């Protein structure tokens, strides 16, 4: 564990239980997201390539807000 993470967790110990649980949930979600993203790089690459092909073929429209 890095010193920075140790510092963060030490400060988190002083938080009320509800805030500790909320922080723990955020950390766990971030770890899960990173794992999901790492496992889907080929699919994301394929989708990006498809989007570029559609853009180059003039099949896209600019978003207007």
In sequence order, what are the residues at sequence separation of 6 or more whose Cβ sits closer than 8 angstroms to the Cβ of residue 51? 60
pLDDT at 51: 96
Q: What is the pLDDT of residues 5-64, one digit of tens each?
A: 999 999 999 999 999 999 999 999 999 998 888 888 888 899 999 999 999 999 999 988
């Amino acid at each position: 564990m890095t010193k920075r993470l140790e510092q963060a967790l030490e400060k988190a110990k002083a938080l009320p239980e509800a805030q500790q649980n909320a922080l723990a949930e955020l950390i766990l979600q971030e770890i899960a997201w990173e794992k999901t993203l790492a496992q889907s790089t080929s699919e994301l690459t394929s989708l990006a390539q498809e989007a570029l092909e559609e853009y180059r073929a003039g099949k896209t429209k600019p978003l207007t807000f």
